[in-house]
A = this chain, B = another copy of it.
Amino acid sequence: MGSMIARMLVEKGATIVGAIARSPQQLGRDVGDLAGLSRPLGVTVTTDIDAVLAETKPDIVVMTIASFMNDMYPNVLRCLQAGANVISLSEELLYSWITSPAETAKLDAAARENNVTFACSGHQDAYWVNLIAVMMGSAHTIDNVRGLVEWNVDDFGVELANLQQVGRTPAEFDTWNAQAQRPPTFGRTSLQSLVAVAGLHPLESTTETRPVFASTDLKCKALGVIVPVGNVIGFTDIDTVTTEENVTLTMEMTGKVFTDEEADVNEWRTFGEPNLTLINTDLHTHHTTCATLVNRIPDVIGAAPGFATLDKLPQLTFRQTLA
């Protein structure tokens, strides 16, 4: 993600002034080289975030390091305290006021004290939040909002295939599911963001997890194994958020091994007067994740100081250039 975003930033006229990486293979390399550009940018990758912040005084830091608050908190905080705006792809921090209220309030306060803004974006900004919010604006009444998202475990690799419990027996899955201490699902924080953008007020948030079983023997390319019929090929998180306005929002997100006939799914429906449907096909989630973040940068720089969840930002817009 970091390399693709670096390329998009350069192609849209931004100046990259520094780069930080954790991976030893990237240290000392030129960002233009890492980003697949045809020329060096004269900026090499280092590990010393404080030195880079002090020397370069960036307008904004793009942070693509982690999904959850524990990993994000210290790194966002030091950037805000150094007077830099921050934009991230962190899924929990898309709307972390309910899942991690204390840390969220501290980041909000630090941003205000330093007169800078922190925000998160990515694929979910458009496809799980704002397209749905705009469609909801064409409804007279809404009882339910239901999202259906499916992605292919084989698009990601070994680590995620194991996290999705691919190859487990039903009994092994049940044991794992009963004991798993999982962080907040991406569905939960996306729905809470959608609730905020739609001007609703959340009550309860719940998550249920159901295994998906192979209906025929199925090859998992990421693991290089055949999952026998009846064993686990992934699972579905079913997140539900209820609201004071009696609108109930549900998102079913399935990460599983696809058959050759399956493709990524993003389908959202509202039920009320009238019923509404929105479908995106031919999804390119890596690209839209990076492009959406880049298009959001002027919004974040222009926003009021603080932790700017999506409800605090203007409508997402295409940008030909950042210059």
Contacts and interface: CB of A to CB of B under 8 A. Distances in A.
Interface string A279-321: 1111010011011101110000000000000000011111110
A interface, over-half SS: mixed
Nearest to A8: B140
B276 A279 contact: no
Interface residues of A, number: 50
A136 B315 contact: no
A246 to B, nearest CB: 8
Contact of A318 (B8, B198, B291): B198
A175 interface: no
A13 to B, nearest CB: 13
B126 A135 contact: yes
A135 B140 CA distance: 23
A217 interface: no
B295 A274 contact: no
Copies of this chain assembled into the complex: 2
Contact of A245 (B138, B287, B320): B320
A278 B283 CA distance: 10
Nearest to A12: B140
A288 B320 CA distance: 31
A130 B247 CA distance: 23
B288 A281 contact: no
Interface of A: 8, 11, 123, 125-127, 130-131, 133-142, 197-200, 245, 247, 273-282, 284, 287-288, 290-292, 294-296, 314-320
Given A123-B138, A273-B291, 14 more contacts: A125-B138, A126-B135, A126-B137, A131-B134, A134-B316, A137-B292, A138-B316, A199-B317, A274-B287, A277-B282, A278-B278, A279-B279, A279-B281, A315-B315
10 contacts: A126-B137, A133-B317, A134-B315, A137-B318, A138-B292, A139-B291, A199-B317, A200-B320, A275-B284, A276-B288
